[in-house]
Amino acid sequence: MRYAVLVADQQDRPDGAVKERVTPKKQDPTLYKVVLLNDDYTTMDFVMHVLETVFQRSPAEAYRVMMQVHLNGRGIAGVYPWEIADTKVDTVASMARDAGYPLRAALEEG
Ligand code: TYC
């Protein structure tokens, strides 16, 4: 797991006061692909709904990505920093579970 870290510096000053500086560490810039996987049971409409609502794809893009997955077995739903990508994988799993479909998404580095 990766964490954003807060770093506190303390500097002693001649008057005895202590100045504290809090510097947010830069976010990890590594991007992760959220990959949708094909199956035989999830409806095309449900996959497009997921692509439009979870991955902010237009209806035309959602259709293109869905067909890519349907024909090739996998396709990229979106590319995000780790925390966001991981949450989207969980969201897909929970939407699919609630709807009774076996649709799955996975994370890929790079
Ligand atoms: N193969 C499914 C069907 O024929 C459609 C589908 C597309 C399912 C993409 C999953 O990630 C997926 N109903």
Counting from 1 in the atom list of ligand 1, the atom nearest the Cα of 75 is: 11
For residues 45 and 39, the answer to whether their CB atoms sit within 8 Å is no
Q: Judging by DSSP bridges, how do beta strands 31-37 and 18-24 pair with one another?
A: unpaired
pLDDT averaged over 10-residue windows placed end to end, the chain, 110 residues: 40 53 69 98 98 98 98 98 97 98 95
Q: What is the pLDDT of residue 110?
A: 80
The alpha carbon of 101 is separated from its chain's Cα centroid by a whole number of angstroms, namely: 20
pTM: 0.80
Sequence letter at residue 103: L
For residues 54 and 91, the answer to whether their CB atoms sit within 8 Å is yes
Gap from CA of 32 to ligand 1 centroid (Å): 22
Q: Report CA torsion sign: 11, 12, 13, 19.
A: positive
Into which CATH architecture does domain 29-109 fall?
2-Layer Sandwich (3.30)
| Number of CB atoms found within 10 A of residue 40's CB | 5
